[in-house]
């Protein structure tokens, strides 16, 4: 069996190319645009100098690397690791050998190069084998009133707001299905019939839908206490999130860190428009002119181990912050997963307008 370019060739290969002097911010934007999970750092002859994956970006963000620094800084961070030299394969390699190489090196991407080291193609594991069904179920939190979006949500649950003629929640469910998730639970409270009448049992979307109705609001995680204890990890996502986050990558990250709970986070920069005075009592210690502060904010997406279910009370109001605090008090491992892909929390009218614009323009 020989490599079949017509089946695996990447038509937009040049969009994956970056210069070592391009900024890390440009790398991040490129990853979000191409949706390939990898960027290829090349010289002027398109010879491969290194690769930057979403995982590299997540580690850099957690380390608070300045996004204005050049991409070569990310390659430098790999010095002394097994990833210092990128794994490549020659053009003409058979799919069988390519698949074996990917499994041996635990890779999801391999660039194909010619004898001069120029990149000719990029092969993904998904190109060689069909994606398997993920061993987890999902919960879409769709019970909120969407108060800040009134009057749009007066007679419509927020997850049912239209995006290019389709409800936002339909995009979420399709994304879960494409990631290999087949069992999806939906928590409801405000206007539940609008959701149930539209989606039914979920067969038309290729999933199995179950509904968990809250007679009264139970908080951001309380509804999980109404569900049967799971036998597999549970992915929880707020029903007002528009994102292209890689759920498979989140599961791998969760397993790698042996976490009980993984919370997706988004880097948020706050530019202070004033000079900040640093004091020690009445005495000035310094002055920082218009500093930029960086935070990690909760992105409304979580991954929970089955063992976490016992910490959620049955039929009581309970927020995700309460659950995380309880796990921390019990010394259970809770980790953060930085989102490097597109993400938008549709909480206000301006957010909804932005979401519609991004969908219409093809950004997502």
What is the secondary structure of 27-72 as a DSSP string? HHHHHHHH-SSEEEEE-TT-BEEEEEEHHHHHHHHHTT--TTSBTH
pLDDT for 329: 95
φ/ψ bin of 219: left (φ > 0), alpha (ψ from -120 to 50), beta (otherwise): left
* Residue range 5-128, CATH number: 3.10.580.10
Cα–Cα distance measured from residue 93 to residue 97, given in angstroms and rounded to the nearest whole number: 7
What residues does CATH 3.10.580.10 cover in the chain?
5-128
What residues does CATH 3.90.550.10 cover in the chain?
137-361
- 31-60: buried (b, 16+ CB within 10 Å) or exposed (e) per residue? bbebebbbbbbbeeebebbbbbbbbbbbeb
Are the C-beta atoms of residues 205 and 177 closer than 8 Å to each other?
yes
pLDDT for 9: 57
* Predicted TM-score (pTM) of this structure: 0.83
pLDDT tens digits in sequence order for the chain, 364 residues long: 344 544 545 667 888 999 999 999 999 888 888 888 899 999 999 999 999 999 899 999 988 888 889 999 999 988 888 888 889 999 888 888 888 998 888 888 899 999 988 999 998 887 787 777 888 999 998 877 767 777 777 778 888 888 888 999 999 999 999 889 999 999 888 788 888 999 989 899 989 999 988 778 788 888 888 888 888 999 999 989 999 888 989 999 999 999 999 999 998 888 888 888 888 888 788 888 888 778 888 999 999 999 999 998 887 888 999 999 999 999 999 999 999 888 998 888 888 888 888 888 877 7
Domain 137-361 architecture: Alpha-Beta Complex (3.90)
């Amino acid at each position: 069996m020989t490599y079949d370019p017509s089946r695996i060739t990447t038509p937009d290969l040049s969009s994956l190319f970056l210069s070592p002097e391009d900024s890390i911010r440009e790398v991040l934007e490129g990853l979000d645009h191409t949706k390939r999970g990898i960027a290829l750092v090349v010289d002027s002859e398109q010879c491969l100098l290194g690769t930057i994956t979403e995982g590299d970006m997540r580690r850099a963000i957690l380390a608070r690397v300045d996004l204005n620094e050049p991409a070569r800084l990310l390659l430098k961070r790999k010095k002394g690791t097994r990833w210092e030299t990128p794994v490549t394969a020659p053009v003409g390699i058979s799919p069988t050998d390519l698949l074996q190489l990917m499994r041996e090196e635990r890779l999801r991407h391999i660039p194909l190069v010619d004898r001069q080291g120029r990149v000719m193609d990029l092969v993904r594991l998904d190109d060689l084998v069909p994606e398997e069904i993920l061993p987890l179920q999902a919960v879409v939190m769709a019970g909120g009133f969407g108060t800040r979006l009134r009057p749009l949500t007066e007679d419509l649950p927020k997850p049912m707001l239209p995006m290019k003629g389709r409800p936002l929640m339909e995009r979420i469910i399709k994304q879960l299905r494409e990631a290999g998730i087949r069992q999806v639970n939906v928590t409801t409270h405000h206007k539940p019939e609008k959701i149930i009448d539209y989606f039914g049992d979920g067969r038309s979307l290729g999933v199995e839908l179950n509904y968990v109705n809250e007679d009264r609001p139970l908080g951001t995680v309380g509804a999980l206490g109404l569900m049967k204890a799971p036998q597999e990890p549970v992915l929880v996502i707020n029903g007002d999130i528009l994102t292209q986050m890689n759920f498979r990558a989140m599961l791998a990250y969760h397993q790698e860190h042996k976490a009980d709970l993984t919370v997706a986070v988004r880097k948020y920069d706050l530019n202070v428009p004033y000079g900040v005075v640093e004091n020690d009592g009445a005495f000035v210690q310094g002055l920082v002119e218009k500093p930029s502060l960086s935070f990690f904010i909760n992105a409304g997406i979580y991954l929970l181990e089955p063992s976490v279910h016992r910490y959620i009370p049955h039929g009581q109001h309970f927020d995700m912050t309460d659950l995380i605090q309880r796990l921390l008090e019990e010394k259970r491992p809770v980790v953060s997963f930085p989102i490097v892909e597109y993400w938008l929390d549709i909480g206000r009218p301006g957010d909804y307008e932005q979401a519609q614009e991004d969908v219409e323009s093809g950004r997502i």
